[in-house]
């Protein structure tokens, strides 16, 4: 019996750092439509703009998956018992522990809310607008930024 070859063969010996929409969805085992829906609701990070291409950071996707993996399901598809520690997220949204406001993130990082807003404007940190005006930062993006091996994360 002959083993079928995959449609796409990556010629590199290391994993890519950035993915386009189709590759990012495939990386998480999702369809592009399901992936886009999760990005829209803030469960997955937004894309970064590199030139004219929108790409997703592999490390940010890994962090988002780790946050989402707390919602495990049993083999029969029913939700497993939730095992969550005390969340350290938004004080203003007590039921929603997957986002930060600029102020709550500033408390965590011991800086000002304006510094967080400026980081988002510069593109150093991905944020999104909730309800058209309210600025929020996904916990997955924060985790990816804190875990990133960059000078930016250490120089705070």
State mean pLDDT over 110-126: 89
Q: Which helix (H) or strand (E) holds 27?
A: helix 21-27
C-alpha 119 chain-centroid distance: 16
Continuous segment of H or E residues that includes residue 117: helix 113-122
Q: Which of 15-19, 94-98, 110-114 has the lowest mean pLDDT?
A: 94-98
Query: Across residues 77-88, what is the average pLDDT?
Result: 53
Q: For residues 61, 65, 67 and 71, what is the CA-based torsion angle, rounded to 10 degrees?
A: 160
CB of 147 closer than 8 Å to CB of 140? no
Tell me the longest C-alpha to C-alpha distance in the chain: 63
Of 23-32, 104-113, 115-124, 144-153, give the lowest mean pLDDT range: 144-153
Neighbours of 5 (CB within 10 A): 7
Provide the pLDDT for residue 94.
46
> In the predicted model, what is the mean pLDDT of residues 46-74?
81
The answer to whether residue 5 scores a pLDDT higher than 70 is no
pTM over 0.85: no
pLDDT for the residue numbered 14: 75
pLDDT exceeds 60 at position 68 = yes
Whole-number Å distance between alpha carbons of 38 and 61: 11
Dist. CA 143–CA 23, nearest whole Å:
22
In this predicted structure, what is the pLDDT of residue 1?
62
- The whole-number pLDDT of residue 21 equals 92
Average pLDDT along the chain: 76
The pLDDT value given to residue 85: 43
């Amino acid at each position: 019996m002959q083993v079928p070859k995959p449609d796409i063969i990556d010629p590199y010996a290391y994993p890519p750092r950035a993915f386009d929409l189709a590759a990012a969805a495939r990386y998480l085992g999702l369809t592009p439509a399901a992936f886009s829906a999760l990005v829209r609701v803030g469960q997955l990070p937004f894309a970064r703009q590199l030139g004219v291409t929108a790409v997703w950071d592999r490390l940010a996707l890994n962090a988002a998956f780790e946050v989402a993996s707390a919602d495990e399901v049993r083999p029969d598809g029913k939700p497993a018992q939730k095992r969550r520690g005390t969340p350290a997220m938004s004080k203003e949204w007590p039921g929603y522990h997957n986002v930060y406001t600029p102020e709550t993130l500033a408390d965590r990082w011991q800086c000002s809310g304006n510094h967080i807003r400026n980081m988002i404007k510069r593109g150093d940190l991905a944020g999104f607008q909730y309800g058209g005006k309210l600025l929020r930062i996904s916990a997955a993006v924060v985790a990816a930024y804190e875990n990133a091996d960059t000078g930016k994360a250490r120089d705070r």
